Structure 1
Amino acid sequence: MTAVAPTVVDDVAPVQVRRRAETWLAVIGMALSTVFLGGFTLVMNTFDEASFTESGLGDLLGLGEGVSGAEAYRLAATLSSWFGFTVLLVLVLAVIGILATRRRPALRRHGWWFAAAGLACLLGSQLILYPVAFAFFVSAGLFALRPVDGRSAS
């Protein structure tokens, strides 16, 4: 019989990983997307067709030229519905990412949730909220680039 020599294991405690920067960037992105996308949705849901045409919001949105009041209201209501869906999708993706990060912060794959939230924010807002989506992309990038412990990032 051959005796197996015991292996020496380093008694180095694993470094506690904190993903505060990534989480805060995601929370900031969630708050800003809720304010802008949810705010537009909330404002549009308070209007009816008559008050929409009286307020001149269709002209402010660039829908007034060559478009009737009813058509402008329908277009703005459709955009409002799309923004409402987008804000819900962004919030769900970001919350899943935050919960997964808080559970196991050392895993880098949780950054994909924030990248998906940024992509949903960017495409769902029709490229209007690119600065807000940038916060989600930076958060995802920090997951990829920040070392988990004292070793190299590879």
Structure 2
Amino acid sequence: MALNVVSNKPHRGFGAGTIDLSNVSCVIIEDGQAYIDDGAMHAKSKVERGIKFSMNKEDVPNGKKCWVVWVAVDRMEVGTCYGGATACEMLVDAEARRGWKILADHVNKLDYALKRRFILEGLSPEEKASLRSLLMAHNPEWWAASSEELKQGLA
């Protein structure tokens, strides 16, 4: 017996086609410091809590630049490594409780990290160094097994 909702192709079971986020972590870069905050997965990181976000940058004239970096962990023949990393910009004015971010960009960059891409444009040299230090300190073996593309992107 098969469940055929739209076509005559058999259903592949509960959860078929779902996205597994268990191998993705969220890194926040704030004031040049990188730290892991998995609350960002649901827009509830320390820096995002209590902030009303807008899609208009003009609504946040005094916002400070922060980044969410989606980091995907991958298992390869050489071992576990950082397989994808993408950075998303946002502005946060904690005093005014206002912020700017493009949710679609955050979702797309999360998808790109899951697809093992590295998109780190926009990060300053200080922010790249902070992210590199965090990743190296978090798991030196994963860093060593990671691709040269990531290492060069954070150089």
Query: TM-score normalized by structure 1?
Result: 0.27
Structure number with higher relative contact order (C-alpha < 8 Å, ≥ 6 residues apart): 1
Structure 2 length as normaliser, TM-score?
0.27
